Amino acid sequence: MSSSSVVVDLGTDGGGTDVKGAAVRRDGVVLDARVMEPSYFSGEDPQATLEQFFLVGERVVKESGLTWENVRAWTVDTPGPAVEGVLGASPNLSPCFHGFDIRGNLEKLVEARTGNRIRVHYLNDGHAAVPYLLRKFENPEKVNILYAAIGTGLGGGIAVNGTLYVGKSGFAGHIGHVSLPEVCFPYFNHDHALQVGGRFGSAEAAISLTALAHRLQHRLLLPQYACHPLQKATGSWKDKAKQLRDYAADPNDVLAHEMFMEQAFALGHLWRSCIQMISPSHVFLGGGVADLAEPFRSQFLEKSVEVFKENALPDFAERPPEFQWAPDDDYTAAIGSAYHAQSMAN
C-alpha cells in the first residue's frame, strides 16, 4: 500500500503527567508509531499545551512515514469536565485552562501550520479508552464495560450494550469523585485531609498519583521509613511519588508495596460501589499504574478484586465481572481516541 493512499485518524491522550499520541488506518489497524511527551497541563500556559498536542500529532504522522495529507480526523482527550472541547474547572488542571477551547483552537492551529482542514473532536480522558476496549470483542453489542484509569487523577468510562455511555451531561464515569469509606484512609488525619474536586474522602484522594504524593509526605516522617532512598530524593512530592512505581519492583521495598496495596484496597471498595450500580460484564484497569512491574502488577489487581469480593453483596461477589488490565498499557486512551476519530469521520 503506497503512503499516498493511506488514510489515518489520530488520537491524543492529554494527561497530567504526559501526552501520548497514536494513529489507526481506515481499515482499523493500529500503526506502530506511538509518541509520548512530558505534559504541560501542570503549567500555566494553555497555548503551550496546544503546541505540545500539535507536536505529538506531527511526530505520529512523521514516524508513520506519512504526511498531514493522509490524516482524516483527530480526537484529543483531556481530564474533564468539558463541553465540546471547552474545558471546565477540574482538580487536575490549572485554573487558567478553565474556559479554554482546546478542540477548536487545535483545529485552527492544524490548519494554520499544515494548510489542511482536519476535523478535531474531543473526548473526556476516561471515556477515550472505551472505543478501543469495545473493539476487543466479537459481539460488542453484548458487552457492558467499566473502565478505570489511575494516573495523576482517577478517571473512568462506561459502555452499555456496546456503546460508550456519557449520560445527560456528557460527564458519566467520573468515578474519581465517588465517596469511599474511612477505612480507605489508614492514617486518617493526614490521608483524609486531601481535598479533590471540592470534597474530602473521594476515590481520587485515595487512588491516584496525587494521593500517593500527599500520603508520602506523612509516610516519610514515620521511623520505619527513615532509611528509605526517597528520603534523599530531590524534586517535588509528585516526582518522588512517581519513583515509588520503580521501587515497587523490589519485593523487599516495604514502603512502596504498602502504599500501592493501600490503593488496591481502596480500589476494591470503589469496584464495589460502581459494579453494584451498573453491573458490568467486564472491568478494565489502565492508566499509569499499568506500568508497574510484574509480578507486583498482577498482585495489585488481584488485591483489588479480593477486596471487592469480600465487601460486595453476595449476588455480585458470587457472579463477578471479568477483571483485566486494559490492552497496550497506558496507550489505551490514545488509541481509543483515534478509533473515536475514525467513527466520527465514518
Q: What is the pLDDT of residues 150-172, one digit of tens each?
A: 998 999 999 999 999 999 988 89
Closest CA to 304 of 258, 270, 279, 254: 270
Fold annotation for 3-130+331-345: Nucleotidyltransferase; domain 5 (3.30.420)
pLDDT at 91 > cutoff 80: no
Per-residue confidence at 2, pLDDT binned at 50, 70, 90? low
The per-residue pLDDT for 38 is 84
User: Given pLDDT bands bounded at 50, 70 and 90, which one contains residue 17?
Assistant: confident
**Which cell numbers hold the place of 138?**
466479537
pLDDT for residue 1: 54
Query: Quick check: 42 pLDDT over 70?
Result: no
**CB within 8 A of 177, min separation 6: which ones?**
196, 197, 199, 202, 203, 204
Q: What is the DSSP string of 270-310?
A: HHHHHHHHH--SEEEEESGGGGPPTTHHHHHHHHHHHHHHH
Mean pLDDT for 251-256 is 97
pLDDT of residue 251: 95
User: How much of the chain, in percent, has pLDDT values that exceed 70?
Assistant: 98
Total Cβ atoms within 10 A of residue 93 = 23
Instruction: Give per-residue pLDDT as tens, 92-126.
Output: 778 889 999 999 999 999 999 999 999 999 999 99
Q: What is the pLDDT of residue 334?
A: 96
| Residue 157: strand, helix, or coil | strand
Average pLDDT over residues 198-208: 94
User: What are the tens digits of pLDDT across the range 281-340?
Assistant: 999 999 999 999 999 999 999 999 999 999 999 999 999 999 999 999 889 999 999 999
Torsion of CA 244, 249, 253, 256, to 10 degrees: 30
* The predicted structure's pLDDT at residue 289: 95
* Same topology between domain 3-130+331-345 and domain 139-325: yes
Would the pTM of this model clear 0.75, i.e. be above it?
yes
Is the confidence at residue 267, as pLDDT, over 60? yes
pLDDT of residue 170: 87
- Position 40 pLDDT exceeds 80: no
Mean pLDDT of 14-35: 92
State how far the Cα of 304 lies from the Cα of 300, in Å rounded to an integer: 7
Average pLDDT over residues 223-246: 96
Mean pLDDT calculated for residue range 242-258: 96
CB within 8 A of 108, min separation 6: which ones?
none
Asked whether residue 219 carries a pLDDT value surpassing 90, the answer given is yes
Summarize the confidence of residues 252-266 as an average pLDDT. 98
| Cis ω before 229 (30° cut-off from 0) | no
Give start and end residues of each alpha helix (H) in 95-236.
102-114, 125-128, 130-134, 188-191, 209-219
Q: Which range, of 11-20, 85-94, 269-278, averages the lowest pLDDT?
A: 85-94
C-alpha to C-alpha distance for 103 and 109, rounded to whole angstroms: 10
pLDDT at 263 over 70: yes
Backbone φ and ψ for 78, nearest 5 degrees, come out as: -145, 170
Residue 181 has pLDDT above 60, yes or no: yes
Give the CATH fold of the 139-325 domain: Nucleotidyltransferase; domain 5 (3.30.420)
Cα distance between residue 272 and residue 270, in whole Å: 5
Residue ranges per domain, the chain?
3-130+331-345, 139-325
